[in-house]
Structures are given as structure tokens and as C-alpha cells.
Amino acid sequence: MEMSGNINNLDGDAAIRYAQETERIRAARARRRWITVAIIIGSLFVLMVGCGIAVGAAASGGSTAHASAATTAPATSGLHEETRVVPAPPTADSAPEGPPPAPASTELPRTWISPGMWLVGPEIEAGTYRSTGPDASGSCYIDAQVGDHYAAQETSDDGPVRVTVAEGQTVEMSGCLPFTKVG
């Protein structure tokens, strides 16, 4: 049945269907309007939070600007005003002679390997290491590489693992109980 724009030309059932369809279309448009408004409000909220994070980072030291003398500079985070003291950069008279001394490392290379990435030599000793197997994750993985080239790679799902590492290699371990040096 074809419906025309004039409701007077329709019979009773068709008029009811036409009114119901018109009401359904109106309700759908209203829902879409609310969804659009909700998306716009949500987007504005996310934008405001992002700006707040950026302003907070800048106010907490993200800026690298220097003052020529000790001054008091206001910094705002959008919510309240705070005052920061910006120290003057060191002058030639107060600067120490030569480069700053390197921190003295009193920590010797380790004789065990825990999860993470380690450099053989300064962080762990070269040699052969052994683990009793995987931790609660169920899969033990260790590899040693020089640059992009693998020197050793071992995995285990249920037993001990042994790996030999040399000076200059990078060792990465995950999912294993700690490795201890055995040779």
C-alpha cells in the first residue's frame, strides 16, 4: 500500500500505521540527537583532561626555560594558582672546573639473573648460569644476543634451563625462576 503525505486519504489502519511510523522516526531522531550530544560531551571531557595533564606537566617542570636571575614566576594548572622560584643558572665564577665526576660504582657484577634485560660485564658476570625452570607463568625463556644476532636462546616449559653468556652480550630473561652462576 502506498502512503501519501495527506493523512485524510488513508483508511483507519493505515492512518494508525502512518502515525506509529512517524512517532518511531521522531523517537529515533531524538535518540540519535542524544547520542551525538553524549559523544560531544565525552570528547570535550577527554580533551579537557588531556589539556589538564599537559598543563600539569608543564607546571611541574616540563618547561626548560631559564631565568637570568632568581625570580618568582606564577604558574597555573587551570585549577589554582601557585608560585615557583626559578633559580638563576650558574655563572662562570660558580661553575666547577672540568666535567662533573662520574658516579663511582661500588656494585660488582651479579652472579645471578632475574627477569629483565642485562648487559654481561658491567651488570652480570660472564659464565654459565642455571635455573630450575619456569616460574608460575609456566614458560621459561632466556636469550643472549650481540646487537641483532642471537648467541644463545633457551626455553623450557617444565625443567631446568642452562645458558652460557659472554662479555658484551645482552641477556633477556622472562618467566623463569632466577638463574644462578654455576661455572
The predicted-structure confidence for 151-172, as pLDDT tens digits, reads as follows 888 888 888 989 889 999 999 9
Higher pLDDT, 149 or 98: 149
Task: List Cβ neighbours of 20 (8 Å cut-off, separation of 6 or more).
Answer: none
* Residue 98, Ramachandran bin (φ over 0: left; ψ between -120 and 50: alpha; else beta): left
How many CA within 13 A on the CB side of residue 149? 3
Dihedrals phi, psi of 63, to nearest 5 degrees: -85, 145
* pLDDT for position 181: 92
Alpha-carbon dihedral angle through residues 103, 106, 111, 117, given to the nearest 10 degrees: -20
Using alpha carbons, select from 92, 93, 102, 142 the residue that is nearest to residue 122.
Answer: 102
What does the chain come to in residues?
Answer: 183
In this structure, how many other beta carbons lie within 10 angstroms of the beta carbon of residue 141? Answer: 17
- Calculate the average pLDDT of the chain: 76
CA 162/CA 144 separation, integer angstroms:
12
Higher pLDDT, 143 or 77: 143
Residue 53 has pLDDT above 70, yes or no: yes
Residue 122 has pLDDT above 60, yes or no: yes
CA 2/CA 71 separation, integer angstroms:
80
